[in-house]
Amino acid sequence: MGRYVMSIDQGTTGSTVIILDEQLQVHGRANCEFEQIFPQPGWVEHDPEAIWASVTTAMKESLAQADIEASAIAAIGITNQRETTVVWDKESGKPIHNAIVWQCRRTGEICAQLKSQGLEETYKKGSGLVLDPYFSGTKIRWILDNVEGAQARAEAGELCFGTIDTYLVWRLTGGAAHVTDVSNASRTLLMDLNTLDWSSTLTEPLRVPHAMLPDIRGNAEVYGTTSGHEVLPDGIAIAGMAGDQQSALFGQACFAPGEAKCTYGTGAFLLVNTGDEVQYSEHGLLTTVGWKIDGKTTYALEGSVFIAGAAIQWLRDEMRMIDTSPEVETLAASVEDSGGVVFVPALAGLGTPHWRPEARGLLWGMTRGTGRAHIARATLEGVAHMVHEVLHAMEEDMGRSLVGLKVDGGACANNLMMQYQADLLGASISRPEMIETTALGAAFLAGLGVGVWSSTDDIKRAWKEDRQFEPEMSKEDVAQRLARWNQAVSMA
């Protein structure tokens, strides 16, 4: 059997495939972007076929780069943009509608109806989540309402629902496996956190038939094997799976309660390991499943900042202030501070701890002397402020301060933003050598699933730090910045 692991990281804007060995040496890496579809303001869709094509292309390119036979792959791990919802025909495999993306806000009215029925606490206690358009359950409801005949077909067992992990396993196995894992299932609004199974209490108000739901499995086990794929031979085990943020928590080796990470991707997502018991939040955090391995479940508290790297993309693509995303750091560093400008990047509403879907982005404090560099710096600082709000909520829930934070994701390469983040937190930030820890976590899970790695101790030994950022700003300066930030948020 080969000792290489293939990790598929299916993200919001593209798919990345990494091939690594048991010493974590990367032998192949390829990324393929796909189109973002915006049918109207606040709506975001993906073509599932475009997602599948991007994964297949990235597989092919990573294998060519690694210069190995596909048969040398011991296992495949999958990590994915969570909550993004696909419904497809069980016989043909054809989606009945574009995927509705996690960022999409179209189901606000459905959430409001559930709240008006007094169900907010039912969903919080059952699923650990809040009633927000972010999650999959209301997206399923929208598709069943808006595609002719879909409700009847779903009840008859003719349709399959899946988050992207489920859809990819279905395609990789030639339709043989309709499965998800506990981490992705915990993001649907439909799974009970304690039983780790679909709950009628949660599915019935949304009229989601159980017949369309996948089987819920653990995170490091064989779900099926490849079949009929154009790039991969038949028989390769798909053996690890987790939603992107739980995968990053695992890839950061945050195996002990109290260990936390922040992934700076399209959004910024913070998770703290809370151990083997469900812990509910009093400060706007979500309760979620981290992973389930060998029958043991690890839970986490999570906070979501909807716009992080996407704010930099906005500066690049819509405002045309920079040509490439990395340029933002150079531009921001060309001024000593933001010149009093505050940017609240609520371009898709506010997530944790506010949960205000109606909030909108705000640029505040501009003068005649405000330039591109000030706005660039305010953008980086705005993301860091939103992350700080989430970490503060975590500290409040846990009743103690975080001693440090592990960071990953593409935007964590921005040294200016990481230093500002450490200043706001008043705590050290640790960046690993391999910042693509989302993909790394999926690889670890798949390797555990087939025995490439024998335990989490092996993984902890393999994790390596690149750099630490220590706080440098005075407490007085931090307090002034936080006060100004809070004033801006109240207006967003």
Structure confidence by residue, pLDDT tens digits, 130-185: 898 989 999 999 999 999 999 999 999 999 999 999 999 999 999 999 999 999 99
Decide if 345 contacts 295 (C-beta within 8 A).
no
Structure confidence by residue, pLDDT tens digits, 285-318: 989 999 999 999 999 999 988 889 889 999 999 9
Q: What is the mean pLDDT of the chain?
A: 92
pLDDT at 2: 54
Q: How many CA atoms lie within 13 A of 7 on its CB side?
A: 35
Burial 91-117 (b: 16+ CB within 10 A, else e): eeeebbbbbbbbbbbbbbebbeebeee
Above pLDDT 90, what percent of the chain?
Answer: 76
Q: Provide the CA 54 distance to its chain's centre, in angstroms.
A: 18
- Comparing C-alpha atoms, which of 214, 140, 211 is closest to residue 176? 214
- DSSP class of residue 101? P
Q: What's the pTM? A: 0.86
Kindly write down the DSSP assignment for every residue of 258-274, as one continuous string: T-EEEEESSSEEEEEEE
Count the helices and strands in the chain (H runs, E runs): 16, 23
How far, in Å, CA of 362 to CA of 370, rounded? 15
How far, in Å, CA of 450 to CA of 171, rounded? 21
Decide if 244 contacts 163 (C-beta within 8 A).
no
Q: Which CATH class is domain 4-244?
A: alpha beta
Decide if 161 contacts 191 (C-beta within 8 A).
no
Contacts of 216 (CB under 8 A, 6+ apart): 179, 180, 181, 182, 185, 191, 196, 197, 198
Mean pLDDT of 9-19: 93
Between residues 270 and 266, which one has the greater pLDDT? 270
Q: Provide the CA 60 distance to its chain's centre, in angstroms.
A: 24
| Integer angstrom CA distances of residue 387 from 100, 153, 189, 324, 411 | 25, 42, 24, 23, 13
Q: Strand 428-432 vs strand 465-469: parallel, antiparallel, or unpaired?
A: antiparallel
Structure confidence by residue, pLDDT tens digits, 36-54: 999 998 899 999 999 999 9
Kindly write down the DSSP assignment for every residue of 173-216, as one continuous string: TTT---EEEHHHHTTSS-EETTTTEE-HHHHTTTT--GGGSPEE
- Comparing C-alpha atoms, which of 188, 218, 51 is closest to residue 126? 188
Q: Cα torsion at 330, 331, 336, 342 (round to 10°)?
A: -130
Phi, psi of 73 (to 5 degrees): -75, 120
Structure confidence by residue, pLDDT tens digits, 85-104: 999 999 999 999 999 999 89
How far, in Å, CA of 7 to CA of 16, rounded? 8
The domain locations on the chain are 4-244
Tally of CB atoms within 10 A around 35: 11
User: Helix, strand, or coil here: 432?
Assistant: strand
pLDDT class for 489, splitting at 50, 70, 90?
very high
Contacts of 109 (CB under 8 A, 6+ apart): none
